[in-house]
Amino acid sequence: MKVALKQWLACAGLALFCMQAQAQKFPERPIKVVVPFGPGGLADVSMRIVAKRMSEQMGQQVYIENLPSAGGINAAQNVATATPDGYTLLLMSNANAIAPSLFKSLPYSPLKDFAPVSTIGFFDVILVVDKASPLKTVGDVIASAKKDSAKFNAGSIVTGSTQNLSALLFTSLAGLSTPVVPFKTSGEVVTGLKTGDIQVGFEMLPPLAAQLKAGSLRAIAVASPKRLPSMPDVPTVAEAGVPGYQVVSWNGVAAPAKTPAAVVARLNAELVKAIEWPEVKKQLTDAGIEPRTMSPEAFRAQIESDTVKWRKVIESAKIEKQ
């Protein structure tokens, strides 16, 4: 028995040594990050900022492969089935937490088929109205929607997006029957506000930053758990009258499941180091992204909690699965 135990301990020690040696040598060739969005978008831009710095730190190129199709399914499947060695990664977003409740079936599991590495940053959703709108507060929105529900519409980009689900969560918690009109682009949401087709819009802050700065749009609340440093006078939805309302949108990096823990830890350390680099942090902040990293365990917990949260919203809104 003692001999067998000693042999087991020796094998375990050798395996640990091999894993540590592998992590120390990693990376020995370029690393690919598959991005499920087209070039130039916020997610793509943020990953390129971080990848450039990681390349400099690690002495190997970290490059982007854009694969924008099928609601991100192709990109996720591409990485889920890749060799789990740390050389093929996925840019994840909370769309991956939404997908299990939005699609009838997926060729992968966001939790079982991936090893979360770290978040990159968080994006803020805001409630916005046209500059000429009489609505000044969340209370005004709720009162107006209840008073004249036949003529009151909210708007967001496509059905099932974080923005769309944010609007549906708002109407649910506020007790409204307000329709949420889905548009293809952020620009169409803005046009809808200008023409009066919708009375309030739910959108990420970065695409609307220029209009807000110019005064053509007005933010009346933020969906985040606390006020934004860039808009200290704009209250959160929760403090403005809808307790329990909170939405955060994020992106981050994940590897295929079964990637060695030591390699995941190395990737996490390099990602955290890159995002803490002052120039990277400034570039992300200037793009409207809150730089924020996590341990692999905390990132997994974020995905799990968001999966449960959005499942409830989708089921409550009776969104038909695609």
Token pair in block for residue 160: 């099932």
At residue 9, does pLDDT exceed 70? Answer: no
Other beta carbons within 10 angstroms of residue 293's beta carbon come to: 20
Give the mean model confidence (pLDDT) for residues 286-296. Answer: 92
Higher per-residue pLDDT: 104 or 143: 143
State the DSSP string of 26-93.
Answer: --SS-EEEEESS-TTSHHHHHHHHHHHHHHHHHTS-EEEEE---GGGHHHHHHHHTS-SSSSEEEEEE
Q: Please give the pLDDT value at position 7.
A: 61
At residue 306, does pLDDT exceed 70? Answer: yes
Which DSSP symbol is given to 1?
Answer: -
The helix/strand/coil state of 120 is strand
At residue 175, does pLDDT exceed 60? Answer: yes
In the chain, what are the domains? 29-122+250-317 (3.40.190.150), 125-222 (3.40.190.10)
Place 146 in a pLDDT band, splitting at 50, 70 and 90.
very high
Place 317 in a pLDDT band, splitting at 50, 70 and 90.
confident
Phi, psi dihedrals of residue 262, rounded to the nearest 5°: -65, -35
At residue 28, does pLDDT exceed 70? Answer: yes
- CA 260 to CA 115: how far, in whole Å? 9
pTM of the model: 0.83
Place 149 in a pLDDT band, splitting at 50, 70 and 90.
confident
Q: Please give the pLDDT value at position 284.
A: 93
Place 23 in a pLDDT band, splitting at 50, 70 and 90.
low
Other beta carbons within 10 angstroms of residue 235's beta carbon come to: 17
pLDDT over 90 percentage in the chain: 75
At residue 22, does pLDDT exceed 70? Answer: no
**What is the per-residue pLDDT across 51-64, written as a single tens digit (0 to 9) for each?**
999 999 999 999 99
At residue 90, does pLDDT exceed 80? Answer: yes
Place 272 in a pLDDT band, splitting at 50, 70 and 90.
very high
Per the prediction, the chain carries an average pLDDT of: 91
